[in-house]
Amino acid sequence: MDEVSRLIVVVLFEGVDLLDVTGPPEVFSLVQRESRDLTGYRVRLAAATMEPVTTAAGVRVLPDTTFAEAVAGPIDTLLVPGAVVVDEERRVHPVADPAVVDWVRRLAGRSRRVASVCVGAHLLAAAGLLDGKRATTHWSTAQRLAADFPAVEVDADPIFIRSGEVWTGAGISACLDLALALVAEDFGETMALRVARQLVMYLKRPGGQSQFSVPLEPVSTTRRIEELRLHIQRNLDQPLTVPELAAQAHVGERQLTRIFKQELGLTPSAYVESARVERARQQLESTDATLERIAGSCGFGTTDTLVRAFRRVLDSTPTEYRQRFRL
């Protein structure tokens, strides 16, 4: 499609998350502002009717068109936001109204690419658009997505994932990262970085950037593992081999691996690597230490080992990370 036909249709429905709807269009609007030579995007909000839609924040939004009108023509990008309800026990449940799901399926058939924001991934999955694809969503509903749609390969860690012409984004502010990635695909990295600067964002984060850092992961219910995690954090510059950790926990190596997988979903070695990457991230963000010094203090030994670990965990290099995240 040429630049004039870059029509973005945002799906609207009752209870939709407000930032999911308004965040990406703010990114798209800055493309036009940043270049006099580009037509940029046209954003249209589509709903079942032309009546105002009340978002989860209580703010009412006016649609530009109806689903029936939107499905009549070609669409460059279909953007599907999400919505949740919270029960009395504070459990989060994604909303996937069958009527909206049906319209999403029909609109997707008219679209060059489709992108979901936050729990909008549940709508895409219900429409069959994620079958056989890798996808992400907000961490709070990722397990539900995987359970409800076993044909979808759910990865709750990245802030966004591209699988062919279907994109899925993580929660809340990650909608801006997803939108910037779409801008980068359409108009190049330079334009995306210029837009990020206008948004007063420190960077345009890569899709592999994790939604969580290691210290924010759920606390284990096993005191032995919690004590071992603390030991790891205090001794990241040491070898921390599986035999040494098993001896520290007074268990066998196989039992240690089984406990780690049950409690943290990782092998001991993978957890140690993640903890070291997290420590290195902090130093890259807040210090001017050389990569050699960071590699040594975090237990990587060499910069090559540090780089390989960063690529595995964050899909980035330490140098790229520092350029984007330096405080």
Residue from 186, 158, 196 nearest 313 by CA:
158
10 and 53 in contact (C-beta within 8 Å)?
Answer: no
Per DSSP, what are the bridge partners of residue 45? 10
**CA 65 vs CA 12, 26, 82, 211: distances in Å:** 10, 19, 19, 34
Q: Which amino acid is at 284?
A: L
Contact (Cβ atoms closer than 8 angstroms) between residue 123 and residue 80? yes
Q: What sign has the CA pseudo-torsion 28, 29, 32, 38? A: positive
- Residue 271 vs residues 49, 151, 233, 268: alpha-carbon distances, Å: 50, 28, 11, 5
What is the amino acid identity at position 151? A
Candidates 80, 104, 118, 121; catalytic one: 118
The pair of structure tokens assigned to 81 is 């936001």
Structure tokens at 10: 């945002």
303 and 291 Cβ atoms separated by less than 8 Å: yes
Rounded Cα distance, 5 and 7, in Å: 5
Cα-based angle 26, 30, 35 (whole degrees, multiple of 5): 165
**118 has catalytic annotation:** yes
Active-site positions?
Answer: 118
